[in-house]
Amino acid sequence: MDKDRAIITQVCAKIAADLTDKSTDVDTRLGEFATLFSTVSDILMESIYGETATTAPTLAEQNSKVVSMVKEAFNAEEVFTPNASAGVSVKGQQHGPLPEWLIKACKRDGVTLVYDNRDGLAANPKRPSFKAVDAEKAYWPPRSR
């Protein structure tokens, strides 16, 4: 993201934060902030560059900055929850979001419950990242080429 777009994004976040109703609960504030930020960003980006923020080429980078600004503004921690729509759950503690390759492999194998072993990979790198609870299946990340 170029410097001008970064400044515009920060201004949009500040405007959205100022317009957000501070007397409501956190979930309502986050939803209101997200809606306001998106609307303000689209208006400013379209009026300045002729494109909305959602069509800008650096949307992922912009979204990560917005997430960090929201964390700072609300003193919040990011919580990872299992993707319920994927049909794969983690037994025990989950260490981050489930990767797409795992969800695809579990659907292929008919596995719905896995152990998340990613926390112990530093001590034993040959250990699988995920292990099926009810089946003799183990899942390692795909090798990069």
Question: How deeply is 133 buried, as exposed, middle or buried, from its count of CB atoms within 10 A (0-12, 13-18, 19+)?
Answer: middle
Residue 139 has pLDDT above 90, yes or no: yes
Q: What is the pLDDT of residue 2?
A: 80
Q: What is the pLDDT of residue 42?
A: 84
Q: What is the pLDDT of residue 1?
A: 66
For 127, residues 6+ apart whose C-beta sits below 8 A from its C-beta are 117, 120, 121
DSSP 102-120: HHHHHHHHT--EEEE-GGG
pTM of the model: 0.41
Average pLDDT of the chain is 81
Q: What is the pLDDT of residue 54?
A: 52
Residue with more model confidence, 94 or 70: 94
Summarize the confidence of residues 12-39 as an average pLDDT. Answer: 87
Residue 77 has pLDDT above 80, yes or no: no
Residue 56 has pLDDT above 70, yes or no: no
- CA angle (72, 116, 142) in 5-degree steps: 95
Structure-token pair, residue 103: 């969800």
